[in-house]
Amino acid sequence: MSIFSLMSFGSEGWGLAMVFAAGVTLSVAACGFLIGSVIGSLIAWVKLSGGVMARGAADAYTTVLRGIPDLLVIYLFYFGGSAVLSSIAGLFGPGGFVGVSGFAAGAAAIGIISGAYQSEVFRGAYTALNRGEIEAAKSVGMHRALMFRRIIAPQVLRYAIPGLGNVWQLALKESALVSVTGLVELLRQSAIGAGSTRQPFSFYLAAAVLYLAITTVSSWGFRRAETYAMRGVRRA
């Protein structure tokens, strides 16, 4: 059976299952990325304006999450999360084992990791701001919230786009590790297909092509967004 008939969309083919699994990959990566954006902006804010203790804690968070294998973090959330949930359930009665869903553990793990990277992206983007433009905002009497909304946030976002693009690519690739929880995303689906057809190369190759398509389209998207956001900046 050729790889094309193997991956066809008919009743005999695996195409539909693979595309659906690619959708799961995208969803878990996107959820993780969004969780990471919330965490990342909070941590960046602490790094920029927190007290000594808070800043130290924020720095420690980034250092630790960037120094530990992603796989360990996923194990922590999947197995550790189940252990915590089970013991909480035990408080309310003779529960048994309560499992965390692979999707939730994966999104949380990607979120925590991605948050560490995103905090650095946001912090860097903030320091790239032109101080003079902030002074100009003060000089026309903008209060802090208005200045943040109208001047700082749009510019931070603009400078952050390339960095966020890189972090999104990381999140996409991390999502492949979530397959260890049994979540049927692209890699897990390929393993299932490989097992039942004994054509592992065809399946992992198809997975690689789909990942490549996703990363290529997203880097194109981020480049478009950057061009749009940088329309007011002179090209060197």
Partner 1 sequence: MTLLSTPAVSVRDLRKSFGSLEVLRGISLDAAEGQVISILGSSGSGKSTMLRCINMLETPDAGEIAIGGEVIALRKGRHGRTEPVDRGQVDRIRSRVAMVFQSFNLWSHLTVLENVIEAPVHVQKRPRAECIAEAEALLTRVGIVDKRNHYPAHLSGGQQQRAAIARALAMKPKLMLFDEPTSALDPELVGEVLRVMRSLAEEGRTMLVVTHEMGFARDVSSRVVFLHKGVVEEDGPPGEVFSSPTSPRFRQFISEHR
Partner 2 sequence: MDAAFMGETFLRLLGGLPLTLNLTFASVVLGLVVAMSLAAMRMSGVPALDWFARAYVFVFRGTPLLVQIFLIYYGLGQFRPSLQAMNLWGFFREPYWCALLALTLNTAAYVSEIMRGGLQSVPAGQIEAARACGMSRLLLARRIILPIAVRQALPGYGNEIILMVKATSLASIITMMEVTGIAHKLISETFRAIEIFICAGAIYLILNFLVTRAIQALEYRLSPHLRNAPSPMPRLVAASE
Query: From CA 167, how far away is CA 65, in angstroms rounded?
Result: 14
Cβ proximity to partner 2: between 117 and 137 the closer is: 117
Among 152, 205, 225, 230, binds partner 2 (CB under 8 A): 205
Q: Which residues bind partner 1 (CB under 8 A)?
A: 130, 132-133, 135-144, 146, 150-151, 154-155, 158, 229, 231-234
Check if the beta carbon of residue 175 is closer than 8 Å to that of residue 218. no
Q: Which helix (H) or strand (E) holds 226?
A: helix 200-229
User: Under the criterion CB under 8 A, does residue 187 sit at the interface with partner 2?
Assistant: yes
- Scanning the structure block, which residue is given the tokens 């695996």? 14
- Scanning the structure block, which residue is given the tokens 């049994």? 182
What's the min distance (Å) between Cβ of 56 and partner 1? 20
Cβ proximity to partner 2: between 155 and 190 the closer is: 190
For residue 57, give both structure tokens.
């804690």
Q: How many residues bind partner 2 (CB under 8 A)?
A: 42
- Scanning the structure block, which residue is given the tokens 């297909």? 193
Burial class (CB in 10 A: 0-12, 13-18, 19+), 225: middle
Out of partner 1, partner 2, none, which partner does residue 142 contact, by CB within 5 to 8 A per kind?
A: partner 1
- Reduced to 3 states (helix: H, G, I; strand: E, B; else coil), residue 37 is helix
User: Under the criterion CB under 8 A, does residue 181 sit at the interface with partner 2?
Assistant: no
Cβ proximity to partner 1: between 10 and 132 the closer is: 132
User: Under the criterion CB under 8 A, does residue 179 sit at the interface with partner 2?
Assistant: yes
Check if the beta carbon of residue 82 is closer than 8 Å to that of residue 99. yes
Binding residues for partner 2, rule: CB under 8 A, are 63-64, 66-73, 75-76, 78-80, 83, 172-177, 179-180, 187, 190-191, 194, 198-205, 207-208, 211-212, 215-216
